[in-house]
Structure 1
Amino acid sequence: MTLYSKIIGTGSYLPPKRVTNQELADQLAATGIETSDEWIVSRSGISARHYAEADVKSSDLAVAAARNALQMAGKSASDIDLIILATSTPDFFGGFPSTACVVQRKLGMANGSAAFDVQAVCSGFVYAVSIADSFIKSGAHKNVLVIGTEVFSRILDFKDRTTCVLFGDGAGAVVLSASNEPGILATKLHADGSYSDILCVPGSVAGGAVEGSAFLYMDGPAVFKLAVSVLEKVANETLAMAGMEASQIDWLVPHQANIRIMTSTAKKLGLPVEKMVVTVDQQGNTSAASIPMALDKAMRDGRIKPGQNVMMEGVGGGFTWGAVLARM
């Protein structure tokens, strides 16, 4: 009997503080940085984003999203035998200890289950799902909690209007369980370290101090060009692995980075934009959290239905990219 992994629950969480483009423009104007709602929307499709309060960490957002996913799945935290958490904004320097272990503690899990973080920036959730799928298919684990969580507001340079307007905070989660029915149909992951400098936080910690910059840096045009190129290719690679055509995709759930990148990918795949889940307009780019948050929204509002095929794909710093094709 073939063993599969299947998504049986989704969850998400946005911190309450919502910041509109106008509010952000007013905040930046006070420091001499000019921008506007029109400028931000025209370049990204973003109208608002959410920021976590100063005392809220990535693990706090992750726990809230995880509880929602567990509730939908009909599972308790004690049923989970592996946590894989994707983040670029861990609770501690160097991700030590891992945010996954902090989440395990905050969920009250005392069953000794494994827990670790994945760092693939905006592709992190796709990477994490692919790893979880392999663990389940191997028989090593039965119920895996996969989380993407970010507090990107902590690493934004609010003197750089080209980046600070794009990102937000939030968390999304899924529960993958062993199943006799096909769930994750195919996954494909890529990376090219020769592009590591076009999207990064180019600082390091030495002697208790930051050397270099602790703020996010992005070469926008270079990222845009590469993202548009690789997302179509990896989607088609994943479809080929599953023996399927793009016409069989019911929903495209892309990383919510930029509406122009997203619509370009849909167009290249021959998919109408009506089949694409969009949250970037109200949530901004939440990096590793963006795909599971968008998936959860479409699951809970009834757009995504059982048995439908969902293509999830992401691209991020590293440079990393990948896709997951799932039957819900």
Structure 2
Amino acid sequence: MAFKIIASATYLPKTIITSSELDQRLNLKPGTCSKRYGVQHRHFANFEETAVFMGCEAIKQALIDANLALMDIDLLISASGTSHQVLPYNGASILAELKDSHPIASMDINSSCLSFLSALDMAHCAIDSGRYKRILIVTSEVARVGITYDNPEISSLFADGAAAFILEADSESQGLVSSLFKTYPQGYEHCQIRSGGSFLHPSKTDLQTMVEGSYFYMDGKKVFKQVATLIKGFLDEGLQKAKLNKQDIQYIVPHQASHLGLKHIESRLGFKTQPMINIISTMGNQIAASIPIALDHLIKNHKPEKGSKILIIGSGAGLSLGMGVLSL
């Protein structure tokens, strides 16, 4: 028993920041964000558009599209790389915001930018075991909150958004045909937000250190180099595990890591004609929300045929690589 996707939805913040506005904020020459970083515009959440709010809006739309109520869902998985707050966990926070009188099971899955793919993998196994019939996966990220304006490449890259997917057990579907995840701890230091847990905590560290650790740090060159070195062999291993060839793939949905990173991955992976979903000019890097928003974009705009095989692939802090082949 596998699953089929019966509904998906995206929520994007109402505030749109154009590339020219970003140039002004970053004190850059007009046209820099567009030409150098491939930015058309970005969606930035306002104060009311919390990660919980955006996730709930995506859930509500997905439930409407599926003609279901929350009571029809067996399990809610919140799959995000950041937290609304440390405790309770995101899933509980979202259910509290929804204010539904029917309690359902919930959990969080966090593997940074690969969280949605990890949730798909776990959901496939849970449905295949017969434990659950319908699973709702929601991913919501306020990426901008941890970004400063001292690095133009990073400051122009990240944006906010949320997506929700409803999966239903289906004996005629294949669901997530195969998956592969690997973490290479040599890249652990490359991407970090050090505060927010028990390590840098006000009970044992000074306020300035804790505040500094609350902002995103990335050594982009080292991340790019490590991913570029590993990605081709990782893909080959993953396809071999799935017993598929590149010709069996109809579409590619990558994590929207960066403008140059997507260009490099497209050439590095060696696919000839398969469309790769590249929406980074308008969506930016939305952390874990990047993959599900790109997948929703594919479903709504490309309308793939039933049975189409979608390669989902990306990297995350850790440094981790993940891929899965989804059969629609």
Structure 1 and Structure 2 fold alike (TM over 0.5) = yes
The structure 1 residue matched to 2:191, chosen from 173, 194, 199, is: 199
Counterpart of 1:116? 107
Summarize the alignment of residues 176-215 of structure 1 with structure 2, pairs less than 5 Å apart.
176-181=167-172, 182-203=174-195, 204-207=200-203, 209=207, 211=210, 212-215=212-215
Alpha carbons of 1:71 and 1:308: their partners in 2 closer, same or farther (altered >3 Å)?
A: farther
Q: CA–CA distance in 2 between the matches of 1:313 and 1:293?
A: 14
Q: Percent identity, aligned pairs only?
A: 27
Q: Would you say the 8 A contact 1:87–1:149 is kept in 2?
A: yes
Q: CA RMSD in A?
A: 2.1
Q: Structure 1 187/109 Cα, relative in aligned 2: closer, same or farther at 3 Å?
A: farther
Deviation at 1:63, TM superposition (A): 1.1
Cross-structure match for 1:4 = 2
Partner of 1:278: 278
Contact 1:227 1:261 in 2 (8 A): no
The equivalent of 1:160 in structure 2 is 151
Of 281-290 and 267-276, deviating more is 267-276
Structure 1 position 89, deviation (Å): 2.9
The 2-side partners of 1:127 and 1:223 are apart by 20
Answer yes or no: is the 8 Å Cα contact 1:235–1:311 preserved in 2: no
Moved more, 102-111 or 172-181: 102-111
Give secondary structure in 2 for the equivalent of 1:176: strand
- For 1:97 and 1:272, how far apart are their aligned partners in 2? 46
CA contact 2:313–2:322 (8 Å) conserved in 1:
yes
Whole-angstrom CA distance in 1 between matches of 2:29 and 2:104: 47
Supply the AA of the counterpart residue of 2:79: A
2:53 is equivalent to residue 55 of structure 1? no
Q: 2:201 is paired with a residue of what secondary structure?
A: strand
Contact 2:82-2:112 within 8 A present in 1 as well: no
Contact kept in structure 2, 1:11 and 1:292, CA below 8 Å = no
Go from structure 1 to structure 2 and tell me whether the alpha carbon gap of 1:114 and 1:28 turns closer, same or farther (over 3 Å shift).
same
Is this contact kept in 1: 2:252–2:274, CA < 8 A? no
Give the counterpart letter for 2:166 in structure 1: V
- Distance in 2 between residues matched to 1:232 and 1:148, nearest whole Å: 27
Task: Provide the C-alpha distance between the structure 1 equivalents of 2:270 and 2:169, rounded to a whole number of angstroms.
Answer: 32
The residue number in structure 1 matching 2:294 is 294
Could you tell me which amino acid in structure 2 is paired with residue 258 of structure 1? S
- State the one-letter code of the partner of 1:193: P
Q: TM-score, normalised by structure 2?
A: 0.90
Aligned partners of 1:231 and 1:5: how far apart in 2? Answer: 28
Residue 218 (structure 1) shift: 0.5
- The count of corresponding residues between Structure 1 and Structure 2 is 319
Shift of 1:167: 0.1
Equivalent residue, structure 2, for 1:37: 31
The one of 97, 108, 121 aligned to 1:130: 121
For residues 116 and 169 of structure 1, the distance between their equivalents in structure 2, rounded to whole angstroms, comes to: 22
Equivalent residues in 2 for 1:85-100, closer than 5 Å:
85-92=78-85, 94=86, 96-100=87-91
Task: Give the Å deviation of 1:243.
Answer: 1.4
- Supply the distance in 1 between the matched residues of 2:61 and 2:234 (Cα, whole angstroms): 30
Q: Structure 1: any 5+ residue segments left out of the alignment?
A: none
Work out which of the residue numbers 95, 100, 103 in structure 1 matches 2:94.
103
Q: Which amino acid aligns with 1:87?
A: S
Structure 2 unaligned runs (5+)? none
Deviation at 1:35, TM superposition (A): 5.7
Pick closer, same or farther for the CA change 1:97–1:72 going to 2, 3 Å: same
User: Matched residue of 1:121: which SS?
Assistant: coil
Whether contact under 8 Å (1:146, 1:174) holds in the other structure is yes
Q: Which amino acid aligns with 1:173?
A: A
CA distance in 1, matches of 2:201, 2:81: 15
The answer to whether the 8 Å contact 2:70/2:102 transfers is no
The residue identity in structure 1 corresponding to 2:285 is: N
Counterpart of 2:236, as a letter, is N
Q: Secondary structure at the match of 1:136?
A: helix
Q: What CA distance in whole angstroms lies between the structure 2 residues aligned with 1:246 and 1:297?
A: 22
Q: Identify the match of residue 82 of structure 1 among 60, 75, 95.
A: 75
Tell me if structure 2 keeps the 8 A contact 1:84–1:145. Answer: yes
Q: Could you say which residue in structure 1 is the equivalent of 2:133?
A: 142
Give the equivalent residue in structure 2 for 1:15.
13
1:45-86 superposed Cα distances (whole Å, 9 cap, x missing partner): 332211000122101111112223333334322111111112
Alpha-carbon distance between aligned partners in 1 of 2:75 and 2:234, rounded to the nearest angstrom: 27
Distance between the aligned counterparts of 1:109 and 1:243, measured in 2? Answer: 43
Q: How far apart in 2 are the matches of 1:193 and 1:115?
A: 29
SS in 1 for 2:43: strand
